[in-house]
Structure 1
Amino acid sequence: MPLFTIETTYRLPVYRQRTYEADTLDQACDLAIADEGWDDEKSDVETSGDTYVTGAWEGRDAAYRGRALDVPSQFDEQTQRKAAHFEVLLGLLKVFAHAPDGEPTDGPFWRRRLEGAIVKAEAIIAGAPDPHTDGDAP
C-alpha cells in the first residue's frame, strides 16, 4: 500500500489588547495595525481553526523532498476555498453581464459551468467535500 506524507495546519488566533489615542476609530485602527510590538500577545486556543492540508508528498517522511502532490481543494482551509471559488463565480458573472446581445447564454457549455459552480459553492458553504460534477468549473 502506498505511503503519503501529509502536512496539516490549523490557525491559532493570537491577539493583543492595547489602547490607542486617536481622533477617530479609523485612526486608532491604523495605529493598531501599524504597531509591531507583540510582547503582550495572547493565544486564543478556544477558537483555533479547523485542521487543513498544506502539503502532500508520496513516500514516508517525504515532506519537501520531491514533487509535492496536488491536494484537492476540499482539503484547503475553508476561508481559502471560499476565496478561490469566489473568483470563479465572479468570472462567470462577468461573462454573463457582458455577453453580446443575441448571444445565447443558456447553451450546454454555460449551463454546465454555472451548475458546477453553484454546486461547488453550496458544498463550500456546507463545509462538505468538493462535488464530482460534469461541469467544467474548477
Structure 2
Amino acid sequence: MPKFTLESTYHLPVYRHRTYDAATPAEACRQAVEDDDWSAEKFDHETAGETYITGIWSGADAAYRAESITVPSQFHETIQRKAAHFQELFDQLVYVAEPIGLSRVNFERWLPKAIVVIEKAKAIIEERRDPDELTEPPGS
C-alpha cells in the first residue's frame, strides 16, 4: 500500500481587547486593524478553525524532500475555496455586465447594481476595503 506524507493545518484565533477614540465605528475599526501592538494577545483554543491540507508528498516522511502532489480542492481551507469560487463568479458577472441580450430598460436598472457588486468584488480580490461610494464605472 502506498504511503503519503501530509501537512495539515488549522488556524488558532488570537484576539485582543483595546479601546480606541474615534468619530465613527468605521474609524475605530481602521485604527484596530492598523494597530500592530499585540503585546496583550490572547489565544482562543475554543474556536480553532477547521483542519485542512496544505501539502502532500509521496512516501513516508517526505515533506519538502520530494515533489509535492496537488491537493484536491475539497481539502483546501473553506475560505480559500470560497475565494477561488468567488473569482469564478466575479468573472462570469463581468462577462454578462455587457448589454448582450438585455433590453435597454432592464439593462439601465441592472447596470448600476452590477457596477457596485463588481467594485466590491474588485476590492475583495485586491485585498482593499469596500469602496465608500461608487464614482466611476469598473475598469475606467
Instruction: State the identity as a percent.
Output: 54
Partner secondary structure for residue 53 of structure 2: strand
**Aligned equivalent of 1:54:** 54
**Aligned equivalent of 1:87:** 87
Partner secondary structure for residue 39 of structure 2: coil
* 1:43 and 2:43 correspond: yes
Q: Work out the CA distance in 2 between the residues paired with 1:2 and 1:65.
A: 17
Q: Which amino acid aligns with 2:13?
A: P
TM-score after normalising by structure 2: 0.65
Q: Which amino acid aligns with 1:72?
A: P
Q: 1:97 to 1:17 in 2, by over 3 A?
A: same
Q: Work out the CA distance in 1 between the residues paired with 2:21 and 2:100.
A: 54
Q: 1:19 to 1:91 in 2, by over 3 A?
A: same
Point out where structure 1 has 5 or more consecutive residues left out of the alignment: 102-138
**Aligned equivalent of 2:74:** 74
**Aligned equivalent of 2:19:** 19
Partner secondary structure for residue 64 of structure 2: coil
Q: Work out the CA distance in 2 between the residues paired with 1:18 and 1:24.
A: 16
TM-score after normalising by structure 1: 0.66
Deviation string 1:85-123 (CA, Å, 9 cap, x unpaired) is 11112223333443744xxxxxxxxxxxxxxxxxxxxxx
Q: 1:72 to 1:32 in 2, by over 3 A?
A: same
| Residues matched between the structures, number | 102
Deviation string 1:63-91 (CA, Å, 9 cap, x unpaired) is 11121110111001111111111111222
Q: Which amino acid aligns with 1:47?
A: T
RMSD over aligned CA atoms reads 1.9
Partner secondary structure for residue 31 of structure 1: helix
Q: Which amino acid aligns with 1:31?
A: Q
Deviation for aligned residue 1:31? 1.7
Deviation for aligned residue 1:46? 1.0
Q: 1:66 to 1:36 in 2, by over 3 A?
A: same
* 1:98 and 2:88 correspond: no
Q: Work out the CA distance in 1 between the residues paired with 2:25 and 2:12.
A: 26
Point out where structure 2 has 5 or more consecutive residues left out of the alignment: 102-140
